[in-house]
Amino acid sequence: MILEKIITEKKKEISKIKNKEPINDLKDKISTKNPPEDLKKALNRGFSIICEYKRASPSTGPISSKKLEESVKSFESGGASAISILTEKRFFNGDIKHLERAESITDIPILMKDFIIDEYQIFQARAYGASSILLIASICPNLEAFIQLSKSLHMEPLIECGNSLEICKALENGAEIIGINNRNLNNFTINLNRTKAFAPLIPKEKILVSESGVKEPEDVKILREYGADAILIGTGVMKSKNPADFIKDLLIAGTITPKGGPRIE
């Protein structure tokens, strides 16, 4: 499976990076940084969009050759509430240094999206300018510890869940932002009904982010009716000829569509 290959390579990568940049160096770097932007606050202002800088993926290959600076500016001008930076190198053509560059040109929250399996990566995210991190519940070795460490570094994490048990575990451990990935990470197929299935398990006071699969405003309307507070979009916005206008159209669709779904009190 693709996910297993990614995790195997990620373990090798982390082992090498730890020797090049020890964790104490990351902590020293963090000590000089200002507090990060508040992702929860940014997503708590009505329907929101997280736009992702994503250059490639295992399922589609190369996606876009757009420069980081160009993309960040277009995301911000389109009305994105936050920006996700895919930092995984081998399979997604990302780079941890993209976080620093993005932080230097925008004031909106920056989410580090990677396959986080080691606490080292959480310190790395903060040291390189992330405001938040994505934790995939199915691969996280200790979700409670990783959530608490992220919060201790003033980063409210986005917890990606794929089933009811993961959602319950995330909520029990203090998750405020829950992501439902419409993409199956084992075979990378898309199904928007994944959001429909799991939205009822997420309390109304929490933020539900529907991830992947949005190609047009109609998709946003569907996810909003299912109960999504926000969407995370990468491929669609990266392939768009005019990202800013595309984002504005998605925002309009999500704003005019009343949030539905039987979200629990």
Write out the catalytic residue numbers. Answer: 52, 54, 113, 160, 181, 211-212
Instruction: Give the H/E segment covering residue 78.
Output: helix 68-78
Residue 179's beta-bridge partner residues? Answer: 160, 209
Length of the chain: 265
Instruction: Specify whether the CB–CB gap between 227 and 195 falls below 8 A.
Output: yes
Pick from 84, 85, 55: which is nearest to 67 by CA?
Answer: 55
Q: What is the 3-state secondary structure (H, E, C) of 80-122?
A: CCEEEEECCCCCCCCCCHHHHHHHCCCCCCEEEECCCCCHHHH
Residue type, 105: I
Distances (CA, A) of 17 to 12, 121, 252: 9, 10, 43
DSSP-derived 3-state class of residue 207:
strand
CB atoms within 10 A of CB 153: 21
